[in-house]
Amino acid sequence: HYFIQSNLSFHSSMSLQLLTLLSSFLLIKSKSVDNDEQSVTPVILIPGICGSQVDGWYRKETPHYYCSKDSKGWTSLWLCLECMVPLAINCWVDNIKLNISDVRNLKNVNGVQTRVNNFGQTDGIGYLDKHHFVVQYEKMIIDLEEMAGYKRGVNIRGAPYDFRYTPNTKQGKEFLIKLKFLIEETYYINDENKVLLVAHSMGNPYLVNFLLTMDQAWKDKYIDGYVAIAGVFGGAAKAVRSIISGETEGLPETIVSPEKMREFERSAPTVYWLMPPPSLWGDTPILFTATRNYTASQYQDLFVDSETPKGGELYDYAREAPLFAEDIGVDVYCVHGVGSETPYQFRYNDKGFPDSMPVTTTSDGDGTVNRQSLELCKEFKRLKDYKTISGFLSTHLEILQREDVAKYIVNLLKVKNLELRKKQGYRL
């Protein structure tokens, strides 16, 4: 059959995944690793929102006559560059948006199946698109190969996930289980060496949630440390604009309609999750209209006034997962950009709310995440180092392309690998 049935129960699908992972885990654990090259601290990379390639397979009715009803196999949903053009984007939104009829049982719209590619490998996070036009972690992966002699799939591994879902959803919990097995697997295929976790953007609060679920003995055994790059620990004001008016993520508004993107963004709980919390933003207004202002404590009113369907329920559900916690039981190294104009407050004219783009006031940050959110990284109980970057390639996405960020991780690994070899009795 072309279409994979979507009505398999959660428990049966999870049992199959766990059996597959357990079989792989047992086989790997039984191997004897004698190669000196593998006696290094392995790295697992965790991407942020919109940071993993997602495929779709659909057979369904469409709202537009020009949209295909049958993909006839797996096709790229994110990032699909050819979908980001007039007309085609209408079809794309209808395939990637979530069914929000039951907020606590979020899923794809009827007739659509999705998957995340190459879990454990780097293919699905190096580039955001299949054509390799939009780079993400690839530059850092190459730097780790060239500067430190690391190998993809062995001691550089990736943990892509469906970024539409928060950690407390069924899909998010499945990812956290897979991440646990990936860490353990990576530990055993690398001579039982602890793993260094590297996360970017929303991957950081996702990782916080994961670490909060693991007991300290497990973390002490498997985790060597955690590098937080551009962590959105206190939300980002930009997420409010995404929900209210839509966000094109840098694509020209003459080609991609913010209103059309909003239809997808309003269905994704992760966008609500990243709205600035009242605990950090306080009474500072975030959004202004002709009739009133809204603070982070007044989102429920904002959802009603902007006619955001299920907005209040999605926000409440998403925020059941914390963005930040001081004590996560591992050593933390923070890196983020500063000095870039970052969306902070949004002002709508008399007739522009919510269906036009507001006038945006900026504050300091990395161009996407506001500084006060980034700086929460200082509050980790086991903070080992804190580094800020400004100037060229210091914005939220560009920071992954900076050679000095890669060198920072390489130097950290060199120290850890030296300690590792001393402990294991290697001749230096």
The enclosing H or E element of 259 equals helix 258-265
Please say whether the beta carbons of 97 and 114 come within 8 A.
no
Return the bridge partners of 388, or none.
336
Tell me, yes or no, if 201 is annotated catalytic.
Answer: yes
Q: Which of 156, 126, 139, 212 is nearest to 44 (CA)?
A: 156
β-bridge pairing 332-337 and 223-229: parallel
Structure tokens, 280 = 């950090």
| Residues 126/243/372/300 CA torsion (nearest 10 deg) | -140
288 bridge partner residues: 293, 347
The strand pair at 156-158 and 332-337 is best described as unpaired
Q: Are the beta carbons of 402 and 336 closer than 8 angstroms?
A: no
Q: Which of helix, strand or coil describes residue 158?
A: strand
Taking the CB of residue 116, how many other CB atoms lie within 10 A of it? 20
What is the rounded distance in angstroms from the CA atom of residue 142 to the CA atom of residue 22?
Answer: 30
Q: Which of 52, 191, 366, 394 is catalytic?
A: 366
- Annotated catalytic, 68? no
398 bridge partner residues: none
Omega before residue 354 within 30° of 0, cis? yes
Residue type (1 letter), 375: E
User: How far, in Å, CA of 246 to CA of 264, rounded?
Assistant: 9
Of the residues 76, 201, 245, 373, only one is catalytic, namely 201
- Chain centre distance of CA 367: 17
Q: How far is CA 259 from CA 50, 83, 89, 122, in A?
A: 18, 16, 11, 33
Q: Is 132 labeled as catalytic in the residue annotation?
A: no
Catalytic residues: 201, 366, 396
